[in-house]
Chain A
Amino acid sequence: MNELNAKYAQEIESILAKYPPDQKRSAVMPLLFLAQQEQGFIQDRALTEISEILEIERSEVAALVGFYTLYHDQQGGKYRLQVCTDLGCALRGADEFLEKLCSQLEIQPGETTPDGLITIEEVKCLAACDRAPMYQVQTGSGITYHENQTVESTLEKIARWKEQAERGEESR
Chain B
Amino acid sequence: MNPYILLRHRDFPAIHQLDVYEEQGGFKSFQRAVTSLEPQEVTEIVKESGLRGRGGAGFPTGLKWSFMDDSRWPHYVVANADESEPGTFKDREIMEKNPLQFLEGVAIAAYAVGANRAYIYLRGEFWQLTDELDRKIAELESAGLLGDDLFGTDYSLRLYTHKGAGAYICGEETALLESLEGKRGKPRIRPPFPPAFGLYGKPTVVNNVETLANLPLILERGSDWYRGLGTEDTAGVKVFSLSGRVNKPGNYELPFGCTLRELIFEQGGGIIDGAELKAVMPAGASSSIIRVDDQILDTPLDYASCREMGSDLGSGSMIIIDETVPMDWLIQKTVDFFQHESCGKCTPCREGTYWMNHLTGRIQQDDDAANQVRLLYDVASNMRGKCLCALGEFAIMGVLTSIDRFPEEFPGQVESEEN
Q: Is the CB of A125 within 8 A of B319?
A: no
Q: Restricting to A48-103, which residues have a CB under 8 Å from any CB of B?
A: 54, 56, 60, 63-64, 67-71, 86-88, 90-92
B337 touching A28 by the CB < 8 A rule? no
Cβ–Cβ contact B337 & A23, under 8 A = no
The distance from the CB of B228 to the nearest CB of chain A, in whole angstroms, is 30
> Which of B84, B180, B340 meets A127, CB within 8 Å?
B84
Minimum CB distance partner of A136 in chain B: B125
Query: For chains A and B in complex, what number of residue pairs have CB atoms within 8 angstroms?
Result: 141
B165–A69 touching, CB < 8 Å = yes
- With a cutoff of 8 Å between Cβ atoms, the chain A residues found around residue B319 in the complex are 87-88, 91, 129
Interchain CB contact under 8 A, A127 and B333: no
| Residues from chain A with Cβ under 8 Å of B86 in the complex | 86-88, 124-125, 129
Pair A124/B124 contact, Cβ less than 8 Å: no
Which one of A2-10, A29-37, A153-161, A163-171 is at the B interface? A29-37
Contact status B181-A142, CB under 8 Å: no
Measured in the bound complex, the distance between the Cα atoms of B107 and A57 in whole Å is: 35
Is A143 within 8 A of B330, CB to CB? no
Nearest-neighbour CB distance to chain A for B326, whole angstroms, equals 12
Interface residue tally on B, bucketed by range: 35 or more
A28 vs B180: C-alpha distance when bound (angstroms): 9
The tally of residues in A whose CB lies under 8 Å from a CB in B reads 42
The chain A residue with its CB closest to the CB of B341 is A124
A127 touches B83 (CB 8 A): yes
Contact A143 B242 (CB under 8 A): no
Is the C-beta of A104 less than 8 angstroms from some C-beta in chain B?
no
Given contacts A26-B181, A130-B250, A143-B125, contact A87 B165 (CB under 8 A): no
Q: Which of A29, A88, A144 contacts B182 (CB 8 A)?
A: A29
Q: What's the minimum C-beta distance from B327 to chain A, rounded to whole angstroms?
A: 12
Instruction: Say yes or no: is B179 at the interface (Cβ < 8 Å to chain A).
Output: yes
Q: Which of A68, A129, A136 contacts B249 (CB 8 A)?
A: A129
Report if B244 contacts A (CB, 8 A): yes
Q: Tell me the smallest distance from the CB of B302 to a CB of chain A, in Å.
A: 23
Say yes or no: is B99 at the interface (Cβ < 8 Å to chain A).
no
The contact of B127 among A19, A63, A143, by CB within 8 Å, is A143
How far is A123 from B341 in the complex, measured between Cα atoms in Å? 11
Whether A70 lies near B330 (C-beta < 8 A) is no
* B84→A69 contact, CB < 8 A: no
Q: Which 7 residue pairs spanning A and B have beta carbons closest together?
A: A69-B166, A68-B165, A130-B249, A25-B182, A129-B243, A143-B127, A125-B86
Which of B's residues lie within 8 Å of A, judged by CB? Answer: 83-89, 91-92, 117, 123-128, 160, 162-168, 179-185, 200, 241-245, 249-251, 284-285, 317, 319, 321, 325, 330, 333-334, 337, 340-341, 343
12 further interface pairs, Cβ-Cβ under 8 Å (given A91-B243, A125-B88, A143-B127): A26-B180, A28-B182, A56-B182, A63-B184, A69-B166, A86-B333, A88-B87, A88-B244, A124-B168, A124-B337, A127-B89, A130-B242
What would 19 A/B residue contacts be, using CB atoms closer than 8 Å?
A: A26-B181, A30-B162, A33-B124, A56-B182, A63-B184, A67-B167, A68-B165, A68-B185, A69-B166, A87-B244, A87-B330, A90-B333, A123-B166, A127-B91, A129-B244, A130-B241, A130-B243, A130-B249, A143-B124
